[in-house]
Amino acid sequence: MIHKLDLKSENLHGSFSKDYQPILTIDSGDTLQVKTPDIEWGYSSSKNEERVVFESAVNEEDRRHPMIGPIAIRGAKPRMVLEVKLNDVVPGWYGRNWAGGFKNWQNDSVGLSETARIQVDWELNATTMTGTAQIGGKAFHVGLQPFIGLMGVAPSEPGVHVTSPPRYCGGNIDCKELVKGSTLYLPIGVDGALFSIGDGHALQGDGEVSGTAIECPMDLVDVTLIVRDDLELTMPRAKTPTGWITFGFNEDLNVAAATALNDMIELVQEFYGIEKVEAMALASVAVDLRITQVVNGAKGVHAVLPHGSIR
298 and 154 share one domain: no
Domain boundary among 231, 264, 284: 231
| 80 part of a folded domain | yes
Quick one: pLDDT at residue 311? 86
Q: How far apart are CA 65 and CA 172, in angstroms?
A: 9
213 and 274 share one domain: no
Quick one: pLDDT at residue 100? 79
| 190 part of a folded domain | yes
For the CA atoms of 211, 145, 178, 296, what is the dihedral angle to 10 degrees? 0
Would you say residue 281 has pLDDT above 50? yes
In tens, the pLDDT along 245-272 reads: 999 999 999 999 999 999 999 999 999 9
291 and 215 share one domain: no
46 and 182 share one domain: yes
Domain boundary among 231, 254, 277: 231
178 and 285 share one domain: no
- Average pLDDT of span 32-50: 96
- Average pLDDT of span 24-49: 97
Name the residue range of residue 153's domain: 2-92+144-231
Residues 6 or more apart whose CB falls under 8 angstroms from that of 112 comprise 99, 100, 101
| 70 part of a folded domain | yes
- Average pLDDT of span 145-152: 98
Would you say residue 114 has pLDDT above 70? no
Counting the structural domains of the chain, the total is 2
Would you say residue 36 has pLDDT above 50? yes
Question: What average pLDDT is seen over the chain?
Answer: 94
177 and 215 share one domain: yes
Q: How far apart are CA 298 and CA 292, in angstroms?
A: 11
Q: What's 274's domain CATH number?
A: 3.10.28.20
164 and 294 share one domain: no
246 and 167 share one domain: no
Quick one: pLDDT at residue 110? 41
Between 105 and 188, the higher pLDDT residue: 188
Domain boundary among 208, 231, 254: 231
| 98 part of a folded domain | no
Quick one: pLDDT at residue 116? 62
Would you say residue 112 has pLDDT above 70? no
Weakest mean pLDDT among 44-53, 114-123, 250-259, 260-269 = 114-123
275 and 171 share one domain: no
In tens, the pLDDT along 222-240 reads: 999 999 999 999 999 999 9
Q: What's 171's domain CATH number?
A: 2.60.120.580
In tens, the pLDDT along 69-101 reads: 999 999 999 999 999 999 999 999 999 999 876
